Chains A and B, each alone.
Chain A
Amino acid sequence: MATRPSTTSHMHRRTQEQLLLEYLRRLENRREGRKAVRINLSNLMPINRREHHIRAATNSFETLVSELMGQLFELKNQDIFFVYKSTAHARVEDTVQKIKFLFSDDPLFDGKGRSDEDFVNWYDVETGYDELFNMVRDMGDEGRTAKRAASRSNVREALKARQEHGDPLTPEILSRAVKALLRTDLTSLVRRQFVCRVNKKLVPEPLFSELFISITDLRETMMPGINITSNRWLFQYLTESLDKRVLSLLSKTDRTSFTGDISFNVNVSTLMSPEFMAFDEGISAARRGSMVLELQKVDIFADLGAFLFAREFCQEKGYRICLDGMTYQNLLMIDRERLGVDYVKLMWNHELIDGGERMKDDLHDMVKDAGATKVIMARCDNREAVDFGRSTGIGMFQGHYVEHLIAEDERRRQLLKLKHRIERG
């Protein structure tokens, strides 16, 4: 359960200059075929530099990053630095052009002919390595002095940054956390997000809701200052303990808040534990039929034999099984039909669109093979995700955007009610 590590931008902002410097240092002996670009968002008007602007700009590099064509650094002053393979140069130029377009109404582009250099600087890592390296090193120094100054004036911000980045999770802390978990009531940390059928008119119809523990809040409550997800294996161990706490939450039948069909994350080992047997014994057959168990691929393939056994056991009892955390690449490799799961969750990622027609056609075929009632597109943050999903035949969606659609739908209903009342009155 609860594998939703926070990815706030604060997490890295503190050390981005240093990371960039380290990265360049590593490139020293293999600088061939690398280029870099700096986008000076700091030269834009402050009104154009709000968080969502910066996010829009950095998001446009997402595909290049996910294809490992380059590394993105968000500097303290909000500038973006992208070091990339020369083979991607044309695409990087396109991306920069798009970003420029985003801010075309900024006075920086008022046509006085100086805008380009103020906004974008291009570097050839291969030939201009030393110059670039020195510039970045100096930048790091500036960053440090700036931070020192800032920390005086804004202790709260600095504390917050440290909390969100945190010290790495160690086995000792894990051990304490696991023990503390037994005494902690997690009810207030439970979040829910709906999986909905979404039609052409973008009207959502909830099918079930996923219950999960907010990892950010869990950390705040139990291990402030610790980066829980810093080691994936220790984190995975922690999720086994969380599983059991969630089972005990769910088995308290008087808890009316968990109504309707629900899903939650579990490890295979949890399904085979005495705790799950007790949970299963405590709920009615009908309730089992309303539950979807979400499993991660790493967990399934860690012991496939155990998974197949547990799946058979659970499905026979009426639970449905969902394979969580799939990417396009995973779908190509993993035979979900043989795995015998009821649902597959495909994580929305902009690269699905950037993959072009071929990826889209592949996906369309896979959805068709699996059946439209099997594939859920999760992490839908915007309309684009839902539109794309629908175009490949996917009918079920989850994510912030879907939550937004639910809220909109609710408001529309309220307005309609009000209108009827007014008409009648």
Chain B
Amino acid sequence: MADTASEYSGGSNTAKSPEKRLLDMLARMRNNTAGSYAVHLHLSQLRASHRQPHFMRMVARSLDSLASQQDVQVLNFTNSDVALLCRNTPIDDVDDAVFRVRALFNEDPLTLTDDGSAEDHFSAWYDLSQSTDFKDFEDAVSAIAQTTEQVKNQQADAVSSGRASKALGGAPLSPDMVAGITQKLLEARIGDLVHRQPAVLVGGQNKTQQLAFREHYIAMSELRARIAPKVDLFSGHWLFQYISETIDARVLEVLSRLDYADMDCPLSVNLNVSTIMARPFQNFHAIVGEHTDKVIVEIQIIDIFADMDGFAYARDWLKEHGYRVLIDGLNPLTLNFFNPTPLEADFIKIGWGPEVQGGVDHDQTQQIANIVAKMPPGSVVLARVDSEEGVSWGLGLGIICFQGHFIDKVVEKMTQKGLIT
């Protein structure tokens, strides 16, 4: 079977795309369709995170057993859909394989619908001996072939106009690049890259809104453009985490220039546990002085799991000195597998991100509601809220603190009206 990953990167321009090849096959068999059927797996409709090449590689591997049979053709489309073209193959064999692939994506909303039901969005079966099914399938494939062609042309444009590195994500980060990047990071001007985003408490009977805190963060895309435009900093977790330790130090430098005595609203900042117990934070601590209640430290869950004891120590130290601690990096999916309340943080932040596009299922929602109920009001923050839908979803679960592009707009309006100063 062809390597999906290589087809992904576009392949050569002269070779026919798998969609086109399938159309040719269909044209050839039009008069001999007895015993033929096709299955179309709509993998292109999975969440973007599930459509990455390494996922598709494993899908291909799951279908290997089928592909080795003479009477089955497996076609991996450019848009990551997969079509199976079968002739007299036992339905159960194909069904098993399709089910295996489906099971891989159990956490994706695409598989929420019942397998084989009329509204199943994951797969569609076509009886090619029926002329209506044959036409439907042919149309579906043509439609994909068409969009693929368009995308390819756009990509070609992007390459010719020099936007290639952006379109392709850049070279994966490797250890030999790290020293150079951290050096640049230490030298670069970064004050202008530190942005602020408010978190707002919505609630009470009279629907008042009130600033909870302002997160100070570095816009990673801007930072990347400045220090490593051709590198994909996020290609792996570990080296990025390593670099983030240097980012911490620089951000703290910027935050050390603020006046904490006159600050109207607390700020929050994302830091590594290792930073907190080391010099960068201790220097910052000296500047904050007695105004530690103005600072909320955000810690990523991955950092906590890497060293639970280190986290507990840092958390106690921070709390003992009047800082507050927020656990970041959670989403509705992670909360379904892990309960953060024993970590004894003052806040937890849940991302309303691409993971919840297409909805959160009932179980997950219930689990989050349980966690919210256990924490003091306002201590659960729903972040990355970019629509009113997010706010109502959160309110329904008892969440009253929100952050995100949508909230930015709300705050802007309120500031104009003089409701928030």
Residues of chain A lying within 8 A (CB to CB) of residue B236: 237, 240, 269
Chain B, residue nearest A236 (CB): B238
Chain B, residue nearest A332 (CB): B342
Residues of chain B lying within 8 A (CB to CB) of residue A335: 336-339
User: Bound state CA distance, A377 and B241, in angstroms?
Assistant: 30
Is A272 located at the chain interface by the 8 A CB criterion? yes
Is A409 located at the chain interface by the 8 A CB criterion? no
CB within 8 Å for A316 and B176 given contacts A237-B238, A269-B236 = no
Our pick among A178, A274, A308 for the contact of B107 (Cβ within 8 Å) is A308
Residues of chain A lying within 8 A (CB to CB) of residue B306: 232-233, 236, 298
Q: Are B336 and A171 in contact (CB under 8 A)?
A: no
Q: Are B333 and A232 in contact (CB under 8 A)?
A: no
Q: Are A171 and B179 in contact (CB under 8 A)?
A: yes
User: Bound state CA distance, A302 and B240, in angstroms?
Assistant: 12
Chain A, residue nearest B355 (CB): A305
Our pick among B58, B334, B343 for the contact of A313 (Cβ within 8 Å) is B58
Q: Are A305 and B302 in contact (CB under 8 A)?
A: no
Q: Are B106 and A237 in contact (CB under 8 A)?
A: no
Our pick among A306, A316, A327, A338 for the contact of B336 (Cβ within 8 Å) is A338
Interface residues of B in 227-246 (CB under 8 A from A): 236-239, 241-242, 245
CB within 8 Å for A333 and B342 given contacts A171-B175, A301-B334, A305-B49 = yes
Q: How far is the CB of B143 from chain A (nearest CB, A)?
A: 28
Chain A, residue nearest B313 (CB): A68
Q: Are A272 and B58 in contact (CB under 8 A)?
A: yes
Is A297 located at the chain interface by the 8 A CB criterion? yes
User: Bound state CA distance, A170 and B340, in angstroms?
Assistant: 33
Residues of chain A lying within 8 A (CB to CB) of residue B308: 327, 329-330
Residues of chain B lying within 8 A (CB to CB) of residue A170: 179
Interface residues of A in 172-230 (CB under 8 A from B): 172, 174-175, 178
Q: Are A313 and B305 in contact (CB under 8 A)?
A: no
Q: Are A234 and B337 in contact (CB under 8 A)?
A: no
User: Bound state CA distance, A388 and B100, in angstroms?
Assistant: 41
Interface residues of A in 263-282 (CB under 8 A from B): 269, 272-274, 277, 280-281
Q: Are B337 and A175 in contact (CB under 8 A)?
A: no
Our pick among B100, B182, B239, B307 for the contact of A237 (Cβ within 8 Å) is B239
User: Bound state CA distance, A175 and B106, in angstroms?
Assistant: 37
User: Bound state CA distance, A277 and B343, in angstroms?
Assistant: 37
Q: How far is the CB of A178 from chain B (nearest CB, A)?
A: 6
Chain B, residue nearest A297 (CB): B305
Q: Are B339 and A333 in contact (CB under 8 A)?
A: yes
Q: Are B342 and A233 in contact (CB under 8 A)?
A: no
Q: Are A301 and B301 in contact (CB under 8 A)?
A: yes
Q: How far is the CB of A299 from chain B (nearest CB, A)?
A: 8
Residues of chain B lying within 8 A (CB to CB) of residue A306: 55
Residues of chain A lying within 8 A (CB to CB) of residue B336: 335, 338
CB within 8 Å for A233 and B241 given contacts A68-B313, A309-B105, A333-B343 = yes
Q: Are A172 and B238 in contact (CB under 8 A)?
A: no
Q: Are A171 and B50 in contact (CB under 8 A)?
A: no
Q: Interface on A for B, CB 8 Å cutoff?
A: 30, 66, 68, 170-172, 174-175, 178, 231-234, 236-237, 240, 269, 272-274, 277, 280-281, 297-298, 301-306, 308-310, 312-313, 316, 327, 329-330, 332-335, 338-339
A-B contacts, 17 of them at CB < 8 A, read A68-B313, A171-B175, A171-B179, A171-B242, A175-B174, A232-B307, A233-B245, A236-B306, A237-B238, A272-B55, A272-B57, A274-B57, A277-B58, A302-B305, A305-B49, A316-B62, A333-B343
Q: Interface on B for A, CB 8 Å cutoff?
A: 5, 49-50, 54-55, 57-58, 61-62, 64, 100, 103-107, 174-176, 178-179, 182, 236-239, 241-242, 245, 301-302, 305-309, 312-313, 316, 320, 333-334, 336-340, 342-343, 355
Known: A281-B64, A301-B305. 11 other contacts (CB 8 A): A231-B242, A234-B175, A237-B175, A302-B237, A302-B302, A304-B337, A309-B55, A313-B104, A327-B308, A334-B337, A338-B336
